[in-house]
Amino acid sequence: MSRLNLLDYPPLELESVAESLGAPRYRGRQIATWLYAKGATDIAAMSDLPREFRTALSERAEVAVPEIERRTPSQDGSQKLVLKLGDGARIQSVLMPDEDRLTLCVSTQVGCGFGCAFCFTGTMGLERNLTPGEIVGQVVAARRILPEGTRITHLVYMGMGEPLANYAATVQSLRILTDPKAFGFSPRRITVSTVGLVSGIEKLAKESLKVNLAISLHATSNQIRNRIMPVNKGFAIEELLEACRGFPVAFRQRITFEYVLLDHINDSAEDARRLVRLLKGIRAKVNLIPFNDWEGSGFQRPPLQRILAFQSLLLEAGIRTTVRWSKGEDIGAACGQLKEALTA
């Protein structure tokens, strides 16, 4: 029988694990402190647990943290982490510093099955979903390599895979990461990105997690979006934006709309004006992402003048708009560039 990964469980469920081994529930709270506050990965080192209980727990469970197989630094200070999972599969996470922030971009699947035409990750296909512990484990692994006094301040679910296609594990990992007795991240500092799975957005809206939502929109007509994002054939733009209107947005927060600018495909002045009309009535902000090139993509980045003109039209309409020059482009760690050999 395979052993439980303790990182799959929030503190309350760890109490049930302890109880199932004949120990009082408070032993589960002690395990949570070791795991999340102290960063322990060796059950034998959990010294305030009785020796007999530690032995029983070690037979039944483990703390499985992905192994950092490779670290690649970028000129901008970012680091791409290639992580090897227990079955030999590989995923990527990216650490991105920005002034007083340190953001970790995490993956939710090995590969991705949605095949967005402009995304290098999508050329991998999907091998499998990650478990909650494998998602949380990326945070644990990244924290281990940080200099003393440095901490991860923000998390974005924008790595390999589609978070809402791995819904249960994504939500469980969010509960662990935001639990005050676990990692204690503020939900306002966590963003979940989706290609636009309407059913998942509607479910997430009812979870009371209060995390930020980012939508990978990338087109203003169904004709173009069908071409570059096959998911649109199942959930059209109008349906997607209706789900966004129903998503609870915290005070001072906005739904982020990610928009990769592709030369002569979705970057015209008419596209910008259409985007303004589409976002009417939504508390929105737009991240314009100049396309990050990869060999064989068939796409190009628009010239700077057209990028800035697109931004200006949105700003003039009162929509908060930034141009996001992706971090880690020189090391293949920018938006849409993550790809790794799936298994050893």
Instruction: Return the closest-CA partner of residue 83 out of 68, 103, 65.
Output: 68
20 plus 77 within the same structural domain? no
Q: Residue 343 — pLDDT band, cuts 50, 70, 90?
A: very low
Most distant pair of Cα atoms in the chain: their distance: 69
Which DSSP letter does residue 227 get? H
- Residues 197, 233: contact at Cβ < 8 Å? no
CA atoms within 13 A on the CB side of 133: 19
Q: Which residue type sits at 242?
A: E
What is the total count of domains within the chain? 2
Shared domain for 49 and 87, answered yes or no, is no
What's the pLDDT score for residue 327? 53
Q: pLDDT of 43-55, one tens digit each?
A: 999 999 999 999 9
Helix (H) or strand (E) holding 14: helix 11-20
Higher-confidence residue: 250 or 36? 36
| Residues 144 and 77 placed together within one structural domain of the fold | yes
Do 179 and 290 lie in one domain? The reply is yes
Residues 41, 91, single domain; the answer is: no
Q: Which residue has the tokens 């939900």?
A: 187
Query: Above 80 in pLDDT, residue 330?
Result: no
Are 82 and 170 members of one domain? yes
Beta strand 79-84 with 109-112: parallel, antiparallel or unpaired? Answer: unpaired
Structure-token pair, residue 213:
């939502």
Residues 145 and 81 in one domain: yes
Pair (165, 226) in one structural domain: yes
- What domain range includes position 35? 4-62
